[in-house]
C-alpha cells in the first residue's frame, strides 16, 4: 500500500489539534467580523469541535448559509437522480471559483443526506497555516503544482493512486476540476490529460480503470462570474505581455474575492455518470484519441447543463452588437450589466475596447459552448 500521508486530509485523531490551531489563528477576528460573530465566541466554538461531522454539519454549514445570505440571491440544484448514496463517485466539474465550486457541492451533499467528498487542493494555495488546517480538516487533499517533468509525472501518479484508493477502498467520493486552474474565459473544456491521469493508477484495462471510478460530470453556473474583474485583467495582461506573473498572495486574494463578491443566482447540475458502456463505445480509438473522446463526452454533459443567466445573453448581444437574445433579459437587467462594466474606468491606461471584449467573452462564451456541445451530442 502506497503511503499517502504527504497529501491526505487529516485523520479523525488529528482534527482536535487542528481545531485548536485554527482557534488560535490571527485571522479569526477578520473572519468573525465578516460573519457577524464575536471573535472570542468563534474561537471557543472552534476549540470545542472534535470531529469532521461537527465541523461540516455544524459550524461550516452555518457559515456557508451566512455567506449565501450575504452574496447569493438564489441557490438550487438538479440531477440528484443521477447519483446514489450506495456508491462513491469521482465528481468532475467545470471550475469557476477556487474554493466555492467544491464547497457548495459539499453543502448540497450534506443537505440531501449523502456523504461529503474529498477535494483536490492545489499546493500553491497551501501557504497559510490556517488555510492548510481548514483545508485538511475539510477533507481536502494536496495536489502538487510545478516541478520538473519527472516530479510532475510522479505527483500525478501519486494523486491518481490516492483517488482510486479513496473511491474503491475507502468508499468516499472525490471532487476534482475538469482542468488545471479555473476557467478564465468562460469556455469550459475538460483536459484530456486529466482523464489520462485518472487511469495512471490502473493500466491493465483503460475501460475498467475509468469505469470503476464512477465518473460524474458536474455543471456549475454563477449569475455573476467569480472574480470576473480579476480574470479580465489577467487575460488582458497575458495578451499584452505574452505571459502573466502572479503577484504575492494573489491566490489568497482570489479566494477572498470569490467568497465576498455578489454571486447572484447559482445552480449546480449533476450529470449522468460515465458508464462502462460509454467507455466501451470509444475503446477502438488509439490511446490519445480515447482520452480526448472521453473528455468530449464529459463536455457534452457539462456544457448543455450550464445554467444560462440573463447576464450571459446580455453579454452575447453586447459583444455582437445584436438583440438576438433580447427575449432572455429585461431592459433593467441590461442597464444593470452595462453599469457594472464601468469598473473598467478605473484602468484608463488599458485599452477599453480590449477589456470589454475579454469581459463580455467571459459571460457570452457559455452560450456558444452550450450550443456547440449540444450539436456534437446530437450527432
Q: If you average pLDDT over residues 334-356, what whole number do you get?
A: 97
The mean per-residue pLDDT over the stretch 272-286 comes to 97
Per DSSP, helices labelled H in 15-112 are 15-23, 28-34, 39-47, 52-54, 61-71, 100-111
Greater confidence (182 vs 137) lies with 137
- Residue 309 main-chain phi, psi, to 5 deg: -100, 165
| pLDDT for res 320 | 97
Confidence label for 370 from pLDDT (cuts 50, 70 and 90):
confident
Asked whether the beta carbons of 239 and 361 are under 8 A apart, the reply is: no
Rounded-to-integer distance, Cα 264 and Cα 309, Å: 10
Predicted confidence (pLDDT) per residue in 306-330, tens digit: 999 999 999 999 999 999 999 999 9
pLDDT bracket for residue 2 (50, 70, 90): low
**What average pLDDT does the segment 194-216 reach?**
97
Measure the CA angle with vertex 367, ends 325 and 315; round to 5°.
55
CB atoms within 10 A of CB 317: 20
Residue, of 376 and 44, whose pLDDT is higher: 44
Give residue 96's pLDDT band: very low, low, confident or very high (50, 70, 90).
very high
Q: Does 376 have pLDDT greater than 60? A: no
d(CA 266, CA 118): 22
* DSSP one-letter code for 83: -
**pTM, whole model, 2 decimals?**
0.94
Check residue 15 and give its pLDDT. Answer: 98
Distances (CA, A) of 44 to 134, 196, 362: 16, 45, 42
Write out pLDDT tens, residues 7-16.
999 999 999 9
**In order of start, what are the domains of the chain with their CATH numbers?**
12-228+245-307 (3.40.1130), 312-378 (no CATH)
Q: Are 209 and 280 in contact (CB under 8 A)?
A: no
CB 282 within 8 A of CB 294: yes
Amino acid at each position: 500500500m502506497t503511503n499517502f500521508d504527504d497529501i491526505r486530509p487529516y485523520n479523525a485523531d488529528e482534527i482536535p489539534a487542528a481545531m485548536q490551531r485554527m482557534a488560535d489563528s490571527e485571522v479569526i477576528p477578520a473572519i468573525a467580523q465578516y460573519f457577524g460573530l464575536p471573535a472570542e465566541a468563534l474561537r471557543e466554538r472552534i476549540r470545542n469541535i472534535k470531529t469532521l461531522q461537527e465541523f461540516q454539519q455544524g459550524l461550516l454549514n452555518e457559515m456557508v448559509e451566512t455567506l449565501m445570505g450575504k452574496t447569493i440571491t438564489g441557490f438550487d440544484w438538479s440531477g440528484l437522480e443521477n447519483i446514489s448514496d450506495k456508491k462513491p463517485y469521482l465528481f468532475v466539474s467545470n471550475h469557476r471559483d477556487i474554493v466555492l465550486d467544491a464547497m457548495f457541492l459539499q453543502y448540497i451533499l450534506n443537505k440531501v443526506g449523502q456523504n461529503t467528498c474529498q477535494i483536490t487542493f492545489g499546493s500553491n494555495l497551501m501557504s497559510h497555516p490556517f488555510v492548510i488546517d481548514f483545508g485538511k480538516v475539510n477533507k481536502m487533499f494536496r495536489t502538487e503544482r510545478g516541478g520538473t517533468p519527472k516530479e510532475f509525472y510522479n505527483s500525478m501518479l501519486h494523486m491518481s493512486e490516492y483517488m482510486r484508493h479513496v473511491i474503491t477502498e475507502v468508499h468516499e467520493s472525490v471532487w476534482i476540476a475538469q482542468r488545471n486552474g479555473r476557467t478564465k474565459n468562460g469556455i469550459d473544456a475538460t483536459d484530456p490529460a486529466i482523464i489520462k491521469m485518472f487511469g495512471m493508477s490502473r493500466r491493465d484495462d483503460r475501460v475498467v480503470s475509468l469505469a470503476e471510478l464512477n465518473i460524474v460530470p458536474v455543471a456549475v453556473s454563477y449569475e455573476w462570474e467569480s472574480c470576473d474583474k480579476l480574470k479580465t485583467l489577467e487575460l488582458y495582461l497575458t495578451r499584452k505581455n505574452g505571459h502573466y506573473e502572479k503577484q504575492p498572495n494573489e491566490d489568497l486574494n482570489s479566494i477572498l474575492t470569490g467568497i465576498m463578491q455578489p454571486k447572484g443566482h447559482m445552480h449546480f447540475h449533476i450529470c449522468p455518470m460515465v458508464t462502462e458502456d460509454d467507455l466501451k463505445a470509444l475503446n477502438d480509438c488509439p490511446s490519445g484519441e480515447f482520452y480526448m473522446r472521453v473528455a468530449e463526452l464529459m463536455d457534452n454533459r457539462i456544457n448543455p447543463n450550464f445554467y444560462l443567466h440573463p447576464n450571459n445573453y446580455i453579454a452575447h448581444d453586447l459583444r455582437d452588437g445584436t438583440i438576438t437574445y433580447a427575449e432572455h433579459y429585461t431592459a433593467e437587467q441590461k442597464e444593470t450589466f452595462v453599469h457594472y462594466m464601468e469598473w473598467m474606468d478605473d484602468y484608463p491606461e488599458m485599452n477599453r475596447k480590449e477589456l470589454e471584449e475579454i469581459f463580455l467573452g467571459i459571460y457570452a462564451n457559455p452560450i456558444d459552448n452550450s450550443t456547440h456541445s449540444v450539436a456534437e451530442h446530437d450527432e
